[in-house]
Structure 1
Amino acid sequence: MGNADYAYPNADCVHRVAIPPPQPFFKSLKYSLKETFFPDDPFRKFKNQTPSIKFVLGLQYFFPIFEWAPKYTLQFLKSDLISGITIASLAIPQGISYAKLANLPPILGLYSSFIPPLIYAMMGSSRDLAVGTVAVGSLLMASMLGRVVNYIENPNLFLHLAFTATFFAGVLQASLGLFRLGFIVDFLSHATIVGFMGGAATVVCLQQLKSILGLEHFTHEADLVSVMRSVFTQTHEWRWESAVLGCCFIFFLLVTRYFSKRQPKFFWVSAMAPLASVILGSLLVYLTHAEKHGVQVIGKLKKGLNPPSVTNLVLVSPYMGTAIKTGLVTGIIALAEGIAVGRSFSMFKNYHIDGNKEMIAIGTMNIFGSFTSCYLTTGPFSRSAVNYNAGCKTAASNIVMAIAVMLTLLFLTPLFHFTPLVVLSAIIVSAMLGLIDYQAAIHLWKIDKFDFLVCFSAYVGVVFGSVEIGLVIAVAVSLLRVLLFIARPRTFLLGNIPNSAVYRNVEQYPNANHVPGILILEIDAPIYFANASYLRERITRWMDEEEDRIKASGQTSLQYVIMNMTTVANIDTSGISMLEECKKSVDRRGLQLVLVNPGSEVMKKLNKSKFLDELGHKWVYLTVEEAVGACNFMLNTYKPNPLKDDSEGWNNA
Structure 2
Amino acid sequence: MADQGDEDLDIIQKGLTFSDNQTPYIHKIGAPPKPDLLKEFKTTLKETFFPDDPLRSFKDQPKSRKIILSLQAIFPILEWGRSYNIKKFRGDLIAGLTIASLCIPQDIGYSSLAHLKPQYGLYSSFVPPLVYAFMGSSRDIAIGPVAVVSLLLGTLVEREFDPNTQPDEYLRLIFTATFFAGITQATLGVLRLGFLIDFLSHAAVVGFMSGAAITIALQQLKGFLGISSKHFTKETDVISVMKSIFKSAHHGWNWQTIVIGASFLVFLLVAKYIGKKNKKLFWVPAIAPLISVILSTFFVYITHANNDGVAIVGKIDKRINPPSLNKIYFSGEHLLKGFRIGIEAGMIALTEAVAIGRTFASMKDYQVDGNKEMVALGTMNVVGSMTSCYIATGSFSRSAVNYMAGCQTMVSNIVMSMVVLLTVKFLTPLFEYTPNAILSSIIISAVIALIDIDAAILIWKIDKFDFIACIGAFLGVVFKSVEAGLLVAVAISFAKILLQVTRPRTALLGKIPMTSVYRNIEQYPEASKISGVVIVRVDSAVYFSNSNYIKERILRWLSEEDENLKATYQPKIQFLIVELSPVSDIDTSGIHAFEELYRSLKKRDVQLVLANPCQQVLDKLYASGFPDLIGENKIFLTVADAIHTCSPKLNNNV
TM-score range, shorter chain: over 0.9
Say whether residues 1:343 and 2:358 are aligned partners: yes
Say whether residues 1:135 and 2:147 are aligned partners: yes
Question: Residue 293 and residue 636 in structure 1: after superposition, are their counterparts in 2 closer, same or farther (change >3 A)?
Answer: closer
In the other structure, the counterpart of 2:291 is 276
Q: Which runs of 5+ in 2 are unaligned?
A: 1-10
TM-score (norm 2): 0.95
Return the letter of the residue paired with 1:220. K
Say whether residues 1:307 and 2:322 are aligned partners: yes
Separation in structure 2 between the aligned mates of residue 230 and residue 420 of structure 1, nearest angstrom? 22
* Structure 2 contact 187–375 (Cα < 8 Å) conserved: yes
Q: Which moved more, 1:30-39 or 1:193-202?
A: 30-39
Separation in structure 2 between the aligned mates of residue 439 and residue 317 of structure 1, nearest angstrom? 47
Cα deviation for residue 5 of structure 1 reads 7.7
* Structure 2 contact 531–650 (Cα < 8 Å) conserved: no
Question: Per-residue CA shift, 1:106-152, capped at 9, x if unaligned?
Answer: 00111111111111110011110111000111001110000110000
In the other structure, the counterpart of 2:233 is 219
* Structure 1 contact 3–515 (Cα < 8 Å) conserved: no
Instruction: Identify the match of residue 244 of structure 1 among 255, 259, 279.
Output: 259
In the other structure, the counterpart of 2:162 is 150
Return the letter of the residue paired with 1:603. L
Return the letter of the residue paired with 1:415. L
Cα deviation for residue 24 of structure 1 reads 3.8
- Secondary structure in 1 matching 2:577: strand
Instruction: Identify the match of residue 553 of structure 1 among 568, 581, 600.
Output: 568
In the other structure, the counterpart of 1:640 is none
Separation in structure 2 between the aligned mates of residue 122 and residue 19 of structure 1, nearest angstrom? 53
Say whether residues 1:185 and 2:197 are aligned partners: yes
* Structure 2 contact 30–632 (Cα < 8 Å) conserved: no
Cα deviation for residue 154 of structure 1 reads 0.9
Q: Which moved more, 1:119-128 or 1:316-325?
A: 316-325
In the other structure, the counterpart of 1:322 is 337
* Structure 1 contact 4–632 (Cα < 8 Å) conserved: no
Say whether residues 1:632 and 2:644 are aligned partners: no
Say whether residues 1:43 and 2:55 are aligned partners: yes
Separation in structure 2 between the aligned mates of residue 7 and residue 466 of structure 1, nearest angstrom? 72
Say whether residues 1:93 and 2:105 are aligned partners: yes
Separation in structure 1 between the aligned mates of residue 379 and residue 156 of structure 2, nearest angstrom? 23
Question: Per-residue CA shift, 1:222-281, capped at 9, x if unaligned?
Answer: 111111121111112111111121111111111100000101101101000010111011
In the other structure, the counterpart of 2:8 is none
* Structure 2 contact 127–417 (Cα < 8 Å) conserved: yes
* Structure 1 contact 19–600 (Cα < 8 Å) conserved: no
Return the letter of the residue paired with 2:238. L
Any residues of structure 2 matched to 1:232-631 within 5 Å, and which?
A: 232-235=246-249, 236-631=251-646
Question: Per-residue CA shift, 1:450-492, capped at 9, x if unaligned?
Answer: 1111000000001111111111111111111111111111111
Question: Residue 631 and residue 19 in structure 1: after superposition, are their counterparts in 2 closer, same or farther (change >3 A)?
Answer: closer
- Secondary structure in 2 matching 1:529: coil
Separation in structure 2 between the aligned mates of residue 521 and residue 6 of structure 1, nearest angstrom? 26
Separation in structure 2 between the aligned mates of residue 89 and residue 73 of structure 1, nearest angstrom? 24
Separation in structure 2 between the aligned mates of residue 540 and residue 392 of structure 1, nearest angstrom? 60
* Structure 2 contact 142–398 (Cα < 8 Å) conserved: yes
Separation in structure 2 between the aligned mates of residue 488 and residue 8 of structure 1, nearest angstrom? 42
In the other structure, the counterpart of 2:245 is 231
Question: Per-residue CA shift, 1:500-519, capped at 9, x if unaligned?
Answer: 11111111111111111111
Question: Residue 18 and residue 293 in structure 1: after superposition, are their counterparts in 2 closer, same or farther (change >3 A)?
Answer: farther
Cα deviation for residue 27 of structure 1 reads 3.0
Question: Residue 620 and residue 268 in structure 1: after superposition, are their counterparts in 2 closer, same or farther (change >3 A)?
Answer: same
Question: Residue 18 and residue 110 in structure 1: after superposition, are their counterparts in 2 closer, same or farther (change >3 A)?
Answer: farther
Separation in structure 2 between the aligned mates of residue 230 and residue 24 of structure 1, nearest angstrom? 68
Separation in structure 2 between the aligned mates of residue 112 and residue 540 of structure 1, nearest angstrom? 61
Question: Per-residue CA shift, 1:511-539, capped at 9, x if unaligned?
Answer: 11111111111111111111111111111
Separation in structure 2 between the aligned mates of residue 604 and residue 536 of structure 1, nearest angstrom? 20
Give structure 1 regions of 4+ aligned residues with deviation exceeding 4 angstroms. 1-8, 634-637
In the other structure, the counterpart of 1:645 is none
Question: Residue 155 and residue 6 in structure 1: after superposition, are their counterparts in 2 closer, same or farther (change >3 A)?
Answer: farther
Separation in structure 1 between the aligned mates of residue 169 and residue 105 of structure 2, nearest angstrom? 25
Question: Per-residue CA shift, 1:177-236, capped at 9, x if unaligned?
Answer: 111010111111110110000011111001001111111122111111111121111112
Question: Per-residue CA shift, 1:599-639, capped at 9, x if unaligned?
Answer: 111111111111101111111110011111113315579xx
Cα deviation for residue 8 of structure 1 reads 7.6
Separation in structure 2 between the aligned mates of residue 261 and residue 296 of structure 1, nearest angstrom? 32
Q: Which moved more, 1:555-564 or 1:267-276?
A: 555-564
* Structure 2 contact 17–515 (Cα < 8 Å) conserved: no
* Structure 1 contact 560–591 (Cα < 8 Å) conserved: yes
Separation in structure 1 between the aligned mates of residue 626 and residue 142 of structure 2, nearest angstrom? 58
- Secondary structure in 1 matching 2:282: helix
- Secondary structure in 2 matching 1:501: coil
Separation in structure 1 between the aligned mates of residue 651 and residue 101 of structure 2, nearest angstrom? 82
Cα deviation for residue 41 of structure 1 reads 1.0
- Secondary structure in 2 matching 1:530: coil
Separation in structure 2 between the aligned mates of residue 407 and residue 145 of structure 1, nearest angstrom? 30
- Secondary structure in 1 matching 2:144: coil
- Secondary structure in 2 matching 1:306: coil
Separation in structure 1 between the aligned mates of residue 158 and residue 574 of structure 2, nearest angstrom? 70
Separation in structure 2 between the aligned mates of residue 6 and residue 325 of structure 1, nearest angstrom? 71
Separation in structure 2 between the aligned mates of residue 280 and residue 57 of structure 1, nearest angstrom? 50
- Secondary structure in 1 matching 2:519: strand
Return the letter of the residue paired with 1:224. V
* Structure 1 contact 137–333 (Cα < 8 Å) conserved: yes
Separation in structure 2 between the aligned mates of residue 330 and residue 455 of structure 1, nearest angstrom? 19
Return the letter of the residue paired with 1:475. V
Question: Per-residue CA shift, 1:272-329, capped at 9, x if unaligned?
Answer: 0010111011001001111011110011112131111111112233222221111101
Corresponding residue pairs, total? 635
Separation in structure 2 between the aligned mates of residue 502 and residue 320 of structure 1, nearest angstrom? 62
TM-score (norm 1): 0.95
- Secondary structure in 2 matching 1:57: helix
* Structure 2 contact 644–651 (Cα < 8 Å) conserved: no
Separation in structure 1 between the aligned mates of residue 311 and residue 20 of structure 2, nearest angstrom? 87
* Structure 1 contact 101–138 (Cα < 8 Å) conserved: yes
- Secondary structure in 2 matching 1:180: coil
Cα deviation for residue 72 of structure 1 reads 0.5
Return the letter of the residue paired with 1:435. L
Cα deviation for residue 498 of structure 1 reads 1.2
Return the letter of the residue paired with 1:619. K
Separation in structure 2 between the aligned mates of residue 404 and residue 503 of structure 1, nearest angstrom? 65
Cα deviation for residue 4 of structure 1 reads 12
Instruction: Identify the match of residue 76 of structure 1 among 88, 107, 111.
Output: 88
Q: Which runs of 5+ in 1 are unaligned?
A: 638-653
* Structure 1 contact 6–633 (Cα < 8 Å) conserved: no
In the other structure, the counterpart of 1:643 is none
Question: Residue 211 and residue 636 in structure 1: after superposition, are their counterparts in 2 closer, same or farther (change >3 A)?
Answer: closer
